[in-house]
Amino acid sequence: KQEVTQIPAALSVPEGENLVLNCSFTDSAIYNLQWFRQDPGKGLTSLLLIQSSQREQTSGRLNASLDKSSGRSTLYIAASQPGDSATYLCAVHSGGGADGLTFGKGTHLIIQP
């Protein structure tokens, strides 16, 4: 059974810093990995989708990498801003279950002004 772990569970950094969020998964046989952002009391917003054949995806100040063999993905946020404060979740699609998706519990990020 696929398991997804996100470390750290919470992170607080000063504005302007570059930071890395981690996502690890136990079964490397995946179709894709997706990063989401969730603001308090809101739904999830898709940030980046990495297919299993890809190594990374970029969108603005965000860069997500995927190392399938080691079961790891990182989300790099450059020049962090207070508006980046949110919970970041990763989800792995590995074919198990009705939807094939396994979500991590998220990293709660606070950017201090």
Q: Which residues bind another protein (CB under 8 A)?
A: 4, 31-32, 34, 36, 41-46, 49, 51, 89, 91, 93, 95, 97-106
Q: Which is nearer to another protein, 41 or 83 (CB)?
A: 41
- Smallest separation (angstroms) from another protein to the CB of 59: 12
For residue 83, the SS3 value is helix
Q: Which is nearer to another protein, 6 or 65 (CB)?
A: 6
Q: Look up residue 24 and give its amino acid.
A: S
Residue 7 phi, psi (nearest 5): -130, 135
For residue 84, the SS3 value is helix
Q: Which is nearer to another protein, 69 or 98 (CB)?
A: 98
- Smallest separation (angstroms) from another protein to the CB of 105: 5
d(CA 83, CA 1): 35
Tokens of 90: 């990763």
Strand partners, 77: 19, 62
Q: Which is nearer to another protein, 80 or 92 (CB)?
A: 92
- Smallest separation (angstroms) from another protein to the CB of 88: 13
